[in-house]
Amino acid sequence: MQNLLSDLQNLLQQDERCVVDGKLLKNKITELALQLDSQLLKLLLSHAGIKKHFFQEVDGVFVFDKIKFQRFVNNKAFLEDSYTSFKNKIGLITHTFDGLYDEFISENKEVVLSWPYKDCVLEGGQTKEDVKRDEIFWNETLAPDQINKLLAPKVLTNFKKYDKDGEHTIQDISLQDNLIIKGNNLLALHSLKKVYAGKIKVIYIDPPYNPDSKSNTFCYNNSFNESTWLSFMKNRLEVAKELLTKDGALIVAIDENEHIEIGMLLKEIFKEYEIHCITIVHNPRGIQGTNFSYTHEYAFFVIPEGRKTIGNRKINEEDIDWRNLRDNGGESLRTDARNCFYPIIVEDGAIIGFGDVVDNDIHPTEQTEIKRGKNYIYPIDPEGIERKWRYARQTVDEIKHLLRAKKTKRGFEIELGKDFGTYRTVWQDSRYDANDYGTKLVKSLVSDCKFDFPKSLYNVYDCLYAIIGDDKNAIVLDFFAGSGTTAHAVLELNQKDDGNRKFILCEQMKYIDDITKRRVWQVIKNNNKNSFIYSELSSVNQTFVDSITSVKTTKDLQTIFKEMQEKAFLSYKIKPKNINETAKEFAELSIEDQKKFLIELLDKNLLYVPYSEIEDKMFAIPKDIKELNNKFYSLK
């Protein structure tokens, strides 16, 4: 048996597809075997002992037992776990028709972004901005069916309703409610999917940026920081896509550090969508770099292909380009379009209506005629030539709101000024200043706010308006809620046009209580209308994770471990009796490794209570919470 192990390992080293940095890739070997890859089969047949063990001769033909081979390769004795087929490099590789990945870019037109642990689930259980920890890739330890359990809907608890009159207990919940959910956003998204799949019109996210500096808000794996960030985003974007309506759109705010990588990732996940990268000047003072001072960030607009999704941008009155409604140049005469010669009626300097088309044999003597105290304006130029208006009489009523009467020595000129236009790819406005309309604005609502880098309200407002300015019933989701700017923007949109748009926020950081919730509640009180329901994912083992990450001494960890043995759900792979938390080996570990060790003992499928097990008495879910969860998960 031992000879077979070493012989197979040595043989497989000859296939460069199965090796990365001198180590065999178990997943890749298994994948090639299941595909009956001809190159692998020739290699296996070249060794007499391996051929005898994994092939059976039938009438002179050797039949490969791929199931037996797979079991052998997956045996712990054969090879230590290798959890990903992707190399420890980030770059472009080709994705072939059979699901395999080539080594180099070839003629294949489909190119995908590759990175370490791309095929892993990154839970991302961060609770404090200042706590760094090596992130856990769950499918290093979980089988696919266990990952499905990890991502199953979770029980919600601690329901409260907030409106202009205060905080209330609730007995009911509906799709007409705004929601703020506290808890891991990946698990919250999978919980929301059961109710909101295909219902979200806009997803706006401002994920943690990943700069190579002290301002990095993505505090995870230091060894593969960029790879970790990409896995973190991929896991969430894949489920987010399922939540969008058919005409729904995704907006991702990002800076220069990851905008290329996130762009490639979006192209891979959202294949049936157009992807537009918009530049927004959000910091006119600039952030000083070695060679450049950065004044901008980006917003990726991911919209359905072939649809008119982006509406018209609003143009400020002072920026409107006015021009005469009277036509000029070629084919601008009255005789060129009979229906375009009629009077526009002005009273007290304002346009109040339009007269009928003038008969061909009637010729006004003046450009402006006064009749019964009203001014009748005709399209006659200063030389007295009868011309035509740019709009026919049957269509001019539709653009009345875009017209104005300008007083002149002759009477009045009628001018056309469009207060809307096509969005440009560079947005520049003093309202996008993150300091004045982000930091200062949030502090005006939450005086003791210590939130770093809140978005400008109007930056987010204009992003949302571009898509749902005309949709008063849209549902907007933000699963990186931060200080609550997206909810604030939705409430302001509704305030402007009496809309009924709804927001859903997800946030796992502890500031959701002190900042996010308080800010949104204050806006509701200021506006004197609207409300939201607050709830939390019901914690089980996550409570122990939070405790472990927050303590500072080994003694505290030992106390937590004793409590874990009594109350926590431990991994089936360990036996608590065999673990001695007072042992010398444990004491010699660094505090961070001690924390990591205790976290590894926990069953990751039970960080939060699965909704499927809400009736299990061991979780002691109160009756009223059960009823609210059943109502929520049965919403249509």
Q: Which of 285-289, 404-408, 488-492, 507-511 has the highest mean pLDDT?
A: 488-492
Mean pLDDT of 348-355: 95
Percent of the chain with pLDDT over 90: 53
257 and 399 assigned to the same domain = no
User: Residue 524 above 70 pLDDT?
Assistant: yes
Band the pLDDT of 222: cuts 50, 70, 90.
very low
308 three-state secondary structure: coil
> Is the pLDDT higher at 570 or at 188?
188
Q: Looking at residue 508, what is its pLDDT?
A: 86
Give the dihedral of Cα atoms 461, 311, 270, 275; nearest 10 deg: -90
The pLDDT tens digits for 590-608 are 888 888 888 888 887 788 9
Band the pLDDT of 148: cuts 50, 70, 90.
confident
Does the predicted model carry a pTM greater than 0.85? no
Q: Looking at residue 188, what is its pLDDT?
A: 95
The pLDDT tens digits for 440-462 are 998 889 888 777 778 999 999 99
- Overall domain count for the chain: 4
What is the token pair recorded at 82?
């290798």
What's 515's domain CATH number?
3.40.50.150
Q: Looking at residue 99, what is its pLDDT?
A: 47
Q: Looking at residue 380, what is its pLDDT?
A: 96
Which sign does the torsion angle of CA 503, 506, 507, 511 carry? Answer: positive
Q: Looking at residue 229, what is its pLDDT?
A: 81
- Where does a domain end: 382, 417, 452? 417
Q: Looking at the domain assignment, is residue 523 inside a domain? A: yes
Q: Looking at residue 410, what is its pLDDT?
A: 83
User: Residue 154 above 50 pLDDT?
Assistant: yes
Q: Looking at the domain assignment, is residue 131 inside a domain? A: no
Mean pLDDT of 263-282: 94
Q: Looking at the domain assignment, is residue 89 inside a domain? A: no
The pLDDT tens digits for 557-585 are 989 988 998 888 888 777 766 777 667 77
What is the SS3 string spanning 225-262? HHHHHHHHHHHHHHHHHHHEEEEEEEEEEECCCCHHHH
Other CB atoms closer than 10 Å to residue 369's CB: what's the count?
Answer: 14
203 and 223 assigned to the same domain = yes
The pLDDT tens digits for 165-181 are 999 999 999 999 999 99
Lowest-pLDDT range, 290-294, 371-375, 503-507, 583-587?
Answer: 583-587
> Is the pLDDT higher at 429 or at 575?
429
Band the pLDDT of 131: cuts 50, 70, 90.
very low
Smallest CA-to-CA distance from 127 within 508, 480, 449, 484 is with 508
Q: Looking at residue 532, what is its pLDDT?
A: 98
Give the dihedral of Cα atoms 604, 606, 611, 612; nearest 10 deg: 90
Other CB atoms closer than 10 Å to residue 33's CB: what's the count?
Answer: 22
Q: Looking at the domain assignment, is residue 51 inside a domain? A: yes
269 and 369 assigned to the same domain = no
Q: Looking at the domain assignment, is residue 615 inside a domain? A: no
User: Residue 106 above 50 pLDDT?
Assistant: no
User: Residue 132 above 70 pLDDT?
Assistant: no
Type of residue numbered 421: G
Band the pLDDT of 224: cuts 50, 70, 90.
very low
| HSE toward the beta carbon, residue 471, CA cutoff 13 A | 21
Hunting for tokens 């069916």 — which residue is that?
Answer: 145
User: Residue 108 above 50 pLDDT?
Assistant: no
What is the token pair recorded at 280?
């927004």
- Where does a domain end: 506, 534, 562? 534
Q: Looking at residue 128, what is its pLDDT?
A: 46
Query: d(Cα 183, Cα 537) in Å, to the nearest integer?
Result: 5
71 three-state secondary structure: helix
User: Residue 246 above 80 pLDDT?
Assistant: yes
Taking each helix axis from N to C end, the angle separating 623-633 and 185-196, rounded to the nearest 10 degrees, works out to 60
Band the pLDDT of 90: cuts 50, 70, 90.
low
Q: Looking at residue 258, what is its pLDDT?
A: 84
Lowest-pLDDT range, 215-224, 236-245, 537-546, 627-636?
Answer: 215-224
Other CB atoms closer than 10 Å to residue 214's CB: what's the count?
Answer: 5
The pLDDT tens digits for 23-59 are 888 878 888 888 899 999 999 999 998 998 899 989 8
Hunting for tokens 């999704």 — which residue is that?
Answer: 309
User: Residue 374 above 60 pLDDT?
Assistant: yes
Smallest CA-to-CA distance from 501 within 242, 145, 201, 251 is with 201
Type of residue numbered 44: L
Q: Looking at residue 26, what is its pLDDT?
A: 81
16 three-state secondary structure: helix
Q: Looking at the domain assignment, is residue 121 inside a domain? A: no
Tell me the average pLDDT of the chain.
86
Q: Looking at the domain assignment, is residue 135 inside a domain? A: no
Other CB atoms closer than 10 Å to residue 574's CB: what's the count?
Answer: 13
Catalogue the long-range contacts made by 197-200 (C-beta closer than 8 Å, 24 or more residues apart): 197/242, 197/243, 198/242, 198/243, 198/244, 198/245, 198/246, 199/175, 199/243, 199/245, 199/475, 200/243, 200/244, 200/245, 200/248, 200/475, 200/476, 200/477, 200/504
425 near 279, Cβ under 8 Å? yes
488 and 578 assigned to the same domain = no
307 and 429 assigned to the same domain = yes
Query: d(Cα 450, Cα 515) in Å, to the nearest integer?
Result: 8
Q: Looking at the domain assignment, is residue 391 inside a domain? A: yes
335 and 391 assigned to the same domain = yes
> What is the domain extent for residue 580?
541-607
Mean pLDDT of 252-267: 91
Direct distance between the N- and C-terminal alpha carbons of the chain, in angstroms, rounded to an integer: 58
404 and 448 assigned to the same domain = no
How far CA 510 is from CA of 2, 130, 450, 610, in Å, comes to 53, 11, 12, 22
- Where does a domain end: 82, 117, 142? 82
**Bridge-partner residues for 168, per DSSP?**
161
Type of residue numbered 604: K
What is the token pair recorded at 104?
């180099």
Q: Which of 209-213, 284-288, 503-507 has the highest mean pLDDT?
A: 503-507
Percent of the chain with pLDDT over 70: 85
User: Residue 467 above 50 pLDDT?
Assistant: yes
> Is the pLDDT higher at 460 or at 136?
460
